[in-house]
Homo-oligomer: A and B are copies of this chain.
């Protein structure tokens, strides 16, 4: 028999959300899943094929542990892929993370989750369907990740031209990275192209992210700067920012060890999106501070506070505003958030 590894995390906590963009909407108190790490259950395995080759797979379900439902869409929408690794690097095929998210969420002190996550404000693609990925070996600390999909958002359509304004989204992404001792830096270059029967057919969105961390020991500093340029509107289904043509965004963060088991996290994130047609630019800024205390290698308790400021242009269009807690596109319009909970990995 084969040896399959079961892995995952269950994270549940209390979350308070306030200061809604719509002033008529009152505060929300909730027991929520994934307050510092999304709850998930996964299965993975590897097989040595000889000749330095390895086959492997990952199947990972997202779970909303507060309601017992699947989180994030499909049953195995977190990850589902097969891989083949060798001296040449690692090839993967299936639903996988985008290189852009791999870079920026690694750099973010909050790892791209909880109320303080950079991607409440900073636009990023998360995962793509139908993705072929390549990760090179490390050449003296230098490596390259590349990814290509014929449609990142659902099955490829007949004729590779999806119905509607956005349709199939072809994406190509390349991520050179350098790691050496305390330094990690990466440059992400990405190209999205709509193949549709509608408005954006043939349009592109070009994305650039330069991000890195430097670990001084007493503190680990993080910084990222990103640009998104759309031919005609940022049609990416992950950002929902269809009214934006140009976006500039950045964040800085710090992670400070506090005693043997604790760490303090803090960050500031900002974004400016230029509207396509006239009007003021949408601007959003977020600062966040958090604390984690490890009860063991697998289990921790945590608390985070974050506050977003959306300017009037951002508030006018919910498509352009940032909201606390569940990533850019999934928010309820709340601009302050506090979450505290327990995370148990296995």
Interface residues of A (CB under 8 A from B): 1-2, 4-8, 10-13, 17, 20, 25-33, 39, 41, 43, 45, 47, 49-50, 53, 55-57, 59, 61, 63-70, 73-82, 84, 93-95, 127, 129-132, 149-151, 154-161, 295-296, 298-299, 332-334, 341-346
Contact = CB atoms under 8 A, between A and B. Distances in A.
Contact of A82 (B7, B10, B81): B10
Contacts of A345: 2
Nearest to A63: B76
24 contacts: A2-B345, A2-B346, A6-B43, A10-B82, A10-B94, A28-B158, A30-B150, A30-B151, A31-B131, A32-B130, A41-B43, A55-B295, A55-B344, A64-B155, A66-B94, A67-B77, A67-B154, A68-B74, A68-B77, A68-B78, A70-B74, A70-B76, A75-B75, A82-B342
Copies in the complex: 3
B49 A299 contact: yes
Contacts of A295: 49, 53, 55
Contacts of A7: 1-2
B65 A25 contact: no
Given A1-B5, A346-B4, A25 B158 contact: yes
A155 B157 CA distance: 32
B10 A80 contact: yes
Looking at A30, A157, A160, A332, which has the most chain B CB atoms within 10 Å of its CB? Answer: A30
A148 to B, nearest CB: 9
Contact of A299 (B55, B76, B160): B55
B95 A57 contact: no
